[in-house]
Every structure is written in C-alpha cells, then in structure tokens.
Structure 1
Amino acid sequence: MGTHHPLAIIGGGLGGLTAARVLHLNGISAAIFELEASAAARGQGGMLDIHEESGQKALHAAGLHEGFLKIVHEGGQAMRVVGTDGTVHVCEGDDGTGGRPELDRGDLRDLLVNSLPDGTVHWGRKVTGARALGGGRHEVTFADGSAITTDLLIGADGTWSRVRPLLSDATPAYTGISFAETDLYEAAARHPRSAAVIGDGFFLGLGGRAGLLAHRETDGSLHVYAARVADEGWLDTIDFTDRAAATTAVLAHFEGWHEDLRALVADADTIAPRRIHALPIGHRWERIAGVTLLGDAAHVMSPFAGEGANLAMLDGAELAAAIAAHPGDTEAALTAYEQALFPRSAASATESAASLDAMFGDRGLERMVEFFAPRPAVG
C-alpha cells in the first residue's frame, strides 16, 4: 500500500502551499506531493495581482502578509489600454492605492515554500491515479511506482487534476480563446521600443476579436499573451519548435495592427502555445468522505477576471481553517469548506466568462475602455 500520511495535498502550487502553511500554523502536519523536481525546476509564469478580499486575506491567515509586501512590484498596478492603431485610450499610473498590487508568481511561491518545515513538499512525484479504499481513506499512485495512503486527500493539482475524478465527472472545456505566449528579455536594453509601449505595469491591446495582453516583469522582461478567438485546433497548425515560423503564423492574425504592437510578437525571444480551458460555471460535487478539491482542480476558469491564483490561495486558507476548527471531524470540516467554496467559485467563474465575452467580442476595445475609464466623482 505504501507510506501512510494522515493528510496529503496533491499539488504544490499556490493553493496547496497556502493550505499547508495555515495547517502548520494550527499545529497540523501535511505532506505535499508535487510533480516538479524542485522549487527551481522551471519558471512559474508571469505577474499576479493579489486582491485584498481573497489572495491578501489568505496571506494574512498564513502570517505572510508582511513578507508579501516586501516582494510587491512597485509600479505594477499601472495600466494602459490601446487600440490596434496604437492609440492609448486608458493610461493609469500606480499610486499604491489600487488594492491589487502586482508581484512575480515565482517570488510568491518561494515565500510560501520557505514558510513550511523542511520535508513538507515531496518533489518529483507525478501522480498517475487515485482510488478510494473505503472508510474515507484513499490511495495515490505515482509514476515512479510508489504509492501512499491517506485519511484526507486534497486535490490541489490544477486544471487536469488526477484527484477530481474521485468527486466529479466534469472535465475542463476549451473556451474558444488561444494564446501564443512570448517573452522579451532585458527589455530596456534589448527591446526599448516594446518597453516604452508596455509601460511599467499591465498592458492591453484589443481589436478584431484578438488581443495583446502584457506585463512588465520584475526581472525587466516583458511577458506577452497574443490572444485570439480561434478553433481548438489552431495552435496545432503552428510549429512552435521553429520560432521564426511560429512568429510569422501568429502575426498573420494581427495584420493591420501598429508595428509597435506587432513587435511584441515579432521581436520576442520565446514563443509557446497555450489553450484556455474552463470547468462549467457552478461546478460542484456531492460530499464524498475523505477527499476534496481546491484551486483550479475545483473551479478552473479563464484568466480574464484575475481570480485564479487569488481563489486558490483563499481556498487553501479556508480549507485549512475549517480543518483546524473541526478537530477530529473531517467531514464537518469539508462540508463547511465546500458550502462556502461553491457559491464563491461560481460567482468568480461567472465574472471571468463575462470578461472573456466582453474582451473578445465585436466591441472588445470599447467595452474595456468603458470598464477601466475613471468614474466621475459623486457628490
């Protein structure tokens, strides 16, 4: 049967790490099993805006808010919205009062990993399956042939969760949006034109049911998502192992855009494909003893409301708090957690889907300008 762990978390992303940290603060040990070989095995993606009502709430619960403030990207809340001709329609600076400070996902993950006791995260453990053993216990098997058993199994293993099938038959569906992700390294020195276009924070260029979404990273690079409404198979028609050919193929869908905007793809140092998937809005499951989900495993949605990482962290903190509040009664803890989880995630998924439709509809630019434009003072 393998090693037994009273509480096992599958997935060492932000949600799983937050859960383990809050459990640790409450004197409860957890074992995390993570696919990646180490904390430094790969880059963790782009910038995140951490919301006061969710991500920051979770960091307070984890006792890490002061550490979070030290890694905030100053200026990261600045924003520009432009049209395909390069005209700037919205331009906001970062005065530090926006309530959603930006930071590097990798820095946040490091903060969480370093807050846990040594040995909490078991690296290089790729899950191949999970099954119920009865009485609320479960077995998890790994690609290296090993297995564990656990009294409480938490699926924090993302979009294609191996734990979710224990609870739900739902699978993520393609949303109709595909990205070609690019990076422009050492932007100030090597890509000054693109650095000037993006500015200090978030950038959004829209038109023709397509968009260029970008951030300035804390290391001085630019991370760009060339997004478009596309058939699910579109990315399969592009050879992303040939950067020049991939760049040409992607830019064919941005004909007529200003050359300064096209340069965000044309001059990129990397390019990679990414399809956007989502679970059905309102995804939920019946209570099954000894297992639950958090983060994308529970409610993966499109990224256009900026909620994914924030919800995962809040899920982790709320789940851990519920476990601590119901000592010896796992089912009461999971019931309390899920009663709050389901409506919260449904509301965010609804907002995310609406943002996708607004951003990539026929009036995408106009609707985003209306959304972000400063509101007149009242009274």
Structure 2
Amino acid sequence: MTTTPRIAIVGGGPAGLMCARVLQRHGIEAAVYDADTAVDSRDPGGTLDLHADSGQIALEDAGLMDAFMALARTEGQAKTSRDHHGTVRAAFVPTDDDTAAPEIDRGQLRAMLHAHLRPGTVRWGHKLLRVAPDGDGAHLLEFADGGRVSADLVVGADGAWSKVRPLLTDAVPEYLGVCFLDVRYDDVDTRHPGIAELVGHGHMFANDGDGRAVIVQRNSDGVVRGYIAFRAEADWHTRAGVDLTDRAAVRAFLLREFSGWSALMRPMLTDNDSDYLPRAFHALPAPLTWRRVPGATLVGDAAHLMAPFGGHGTNLALLDAAELARAIAEEATVDAAVARHEAAMFARSGELAVQSNAALRRFFATTSPDAPHLPPDHAAEHEEYRARAAEYRRRQGEAGRA
C-alpha cells in the first residue's frame, strides 16, 4: 500500500478482530467499532470448531496458533448421531493427533483475539446507525452516541443484520423455517450425568425424521450448550400462546411437541439450567455477489450468512478477514485490495453456503424410518480439511515466489 488508508472495521466479533490483528502485524492500523460495551459484556454463545483449511490458516497469519491450541479441545471433535430414542446411528472419535477441527468456546476466541490487539484498537459502545458515501470513495459513519467518523475503507464485519451491507447489495437474510431454542446445562457430569453420557466429549445430534432435533455440544468448564429445534413459523410462540420467559410453559410445550421422544432423551428438553433463548436462523441468498463499491466491503456473515450446518460461518469469516488484511498490505491501492479479497471470497463462500443451507433442509426434512438422515463421514471430512490446507499453503508459496 503506497499510502496508509483510514480503515474502519464495523463489528468486534472474530472477523473484525482478526482483520485488525493481521493488519497490525503488517504495520497498518485500523479502528474497530462495536456496539457492545466490552469484549465480555454479553453471552457470546456456545462452542465452534476451527478448520485446518480456513480458520486455522487465518490464525497462522495472525500469529495465534499457539494461543489457540492452548485453549482448544481436540477431544471436542467427537460426534454422535442418535435417533429420538437415543439409539446411536453413527459416531466419530478423533485420534489423539487429530487437529483438523478442534473446538473452542466463542467467548474464548473473541477474548483471545482482542487480547492480541493494541490497546484502544476497539471502540466499544459504538453502535452504528448509518454509513453513507462521503466523496472520493470515502464513507461517513454515524454512531448512536452522536459520533461521526470518515474512512477510506469501511469493512462490514457486523454480522447477519449488517448496517454496511446496503452499501453493496439489497440482499437481506431470509428465515430458514426452523426455530432453535438455545439451552445450557451446567456442571453436567455431576448435575446431569445422563445428558453427559449422551453427549460424550463433543457433539450430539439427534432427530426424529419429522423435523424435530436436539443438537448439543460440550463447552469448557463442564458446560453443555446447544439447541432444541423444530420446524415452525418465526413467531411460533405467539401463535401457541407460550411465554418464552416462563420455563414451565416452554417445557410443557416441548413435551407436547416432542411427545414421541423417549424418556432417555426428554431431559434435554426439560432439565436445562438456562432460560430458553429463541434463535431464528436466517441465510442470505446464495451464492451472493455484488458489483464492487469503492471504499467498502464485507466479511463473514455480513457477506455470506448461511445455515450453521457444516460449521463454516466463523471459519470463513476468519479467513475472509485475514485475506482482506493481507491484500491491503500487499496491493498498491484499497480498490485493488478489495477486488482481490472479494474475488477469492465469492469463489469460496458461494458453494459452501448452498451446501450448508441444503444440509439444514435435509436434516429437518421428514424422512422414512428406514432411511434416516445420517451425518457426513467426519474422518473423511477431516482428511479433506488437511488436504485443502496443504493446497492453500502451496498456492500461497507459489504466489510469494512469483
């Protein structure tokens, strides 16, 4: 970069923090703006796996692989698929040396990335109201506290309901037709040994072939988190007259909705230690592209929000962010950097978004008991992550020698 641009990153989640970290490693400063009041001011959600061919590549660029592995749980890669009676359909146990997709709590990842930024990089408590062109490719950002900032490049890392996205496309997220209730079980090995046994060391997926499922996973510190899920309209609780703040009312509804589930599985519906937090999942049209707009781009969910099946969301967000930062450091102009970033991101994310959305629909479709939905071959999936990672690094090496 021949001149240092003013860079504003909107969103202090993993993508925004990763972009700022890699930029700083190249001697380029950026300001990150986030509506949260602090890095740990809200519940960040459950756990996620970082893939060798995407999230881990970004961590290497950020110089944070050792910090990640100090927190990661390789045993958390284990996966079990069960039917609604608890019968195991398929299981995957990782080998001791398998690091293709270790798990880390979302809050741990965010805190780790934030801790490796220079103090003051993130402007907490800055809720973006609007962003508009400000002449010569620059943009003016206006915040809820009255603050205004002009930037040569605005990076929308602000998730599903991005305020930056309308600069580039009129695409909006669409409801996927499946409701999720976020649940948590604390001190699970002592308080909920039956659930602990069902879940094991990693993930447990259970569905009944009629659009109902429980998807839960080990987190750190003896916690299991996950989702109770079923096909419904987004306002199902209003239609059913269920107060989501009334745990007894929600439990009564779930016992009716999941009446065919066995006594072995029902504690996952009723024994949670948290409130039932509604999550209505959405996705952007896929594949999604747009015409390049000078001085603005997107990364992560803001660019390619997809169903959570496959675990690609955060992984792609981290890789998007690292690649954009590298492009800014290596290209002569912001426009050239954005063009390089978007070309790579479009090619990578479109197919994965289509696949992830299709996987969700299959999982929640009505299936014959004789032909249940089965999970992918996770051992083969891990081999693919490793092979793609090796190919990615090979291409990088060739580009560096060119």
Query: So what's the TM-score if we normalise by structure 2?
Result: 0.89
- Identify the residue that residue 308 of structure 2 maps to in structure 1: 303
Picking from 318, 325, 341, the partner of 1:320 is 325
Question: 1:193 Cα shift?
Answer: 1.5
CA contact (8 A) 1:167 1:285 kept: yes
- Does the CA contact (< 8 Å) of 1:224 and 1:264 recur in 2? no
Is the 1:37–1:123 contact (alpha carbons within 8 Å) kept by the matching residues of 2? yes
- C-alpha change, 1:98 and 1:364, in structure 2 (3 Å) is farther
1:363 to 362, 367, 391: 367
Q: Which residue of 2 aligns with 1:141?
A: 142
Does structure 1 residue 232 correspond to structure 2 residue 237?
Answer: no
After superposition, give the CA deviation of every residue in 1:197-228 in whole Å (9 maximum; x if it has no partner).
11111000011111100001112111120111
Q: For residue 259 of structure 1, give the secondary structure of its aligned residue in structure 2.
A: coil
Q: Please tell me whether residue 264 in structure 1 is matched to residue 265 in structure 2.
A: no
Kept after mapping to 2: 8 A contact 1:90/1:372? no
Structure number with the higher strand fraction is 1
Q: Deviations over 1:237-262 (max 9, x none)?
A: 43111111122223322111012222
Aligned pair count reads: 370
The one-letter code matched in structure 1 to 2:12 is G
- Deviations along 1:347-378, whole A, 9 cap, x unmatched? 11011012112211223884543634878xxx
1:68-217 map, 5 Å: 68-96=68-96, 97=98, 99-207=100-208, 208-217=210-219
What residue number does 1:338 align with? 342
Q: Distance in 2 between matches of 1:350 and 1:239?
A: 34
Q: Is the 8 A contact 2:86 2:265 kept in 1?
A: yes
Q: With the length of structure 1 as denominator, give the TM-score of the two structures.
A: 0.94
Corresponding residue for 1:249? 253
SS of residue paired to 1:349: helix
Question: 1: CA distance between counterparts of 2:255 and 2:297?
Answer: 43
CA distance in 2, matches of 1:60, 1:236: 46
Q: Kindly provide the CA deviation profile for residues 310-367 of structure 1, in whole angstroms up to 9, marking residues without a partner as x.
A: 000000001001101114x110110111111112110110110121122112238845
Which amino acid in structure 1 is aligned with residue 80 of structure 2? Answer: R
Closer/same/farther in 2, CA of residues 364 and 325 from structure 1, 3 Å limit: farther
Counterpart of 1:39, as a letter, is V
Deviation at 1:163, TM superposition (A): 0.6
Unpaired runs of 5+ in structure 2? 381-402
Question: What is the identity percentage for the equivalent residue pairs of Structure 1 and Structure 2?
Answer: 40
Residues 152/374 of structure 1: CA separation in 2 closer, same or farther (3 Å cut): closer
Please say which of residues 220-229 and 248-257 is displaced more in the overlay. Answer: 248-257
Deviations 1:9-38 (A, max 9, x none): 000011111110110000000100011100
The amino acid across from 1:343 in the alignment is A
Confirm or deny that 1:220 pairs with 2:222: yes
Q: How far did residue 180 of structure 1 move?
A: 0.9
Q: Is the 8 A contact 2:156 2:165 kept in 1?
A: yes
| Counterpart amino acid of residue 265 in structure 1 | L
RMSD of aligned C-alpha atoms?
Answer: 1.6
In structure 2, the partner of 1:27 is: 27
Supply the distance in 1 between the matched residues of 2:117 and 2:104 (Cα, whole angstroms).
20
Counterpart among 277, 283, 286 of residue 282 in structure 2: 277
SS at match of 2:226: strand
* CA shift digits 1:137-184 (9 cap, x unpaired): 111111111111111110000000001111111100001111011111
In the alignment, residue 145 of structure 2 is paired with which amino acid? D
Alignment CA distance shift 1:132-1:367 (3 Å)? farther
Residue number in structure 1 paired with 2:394? none
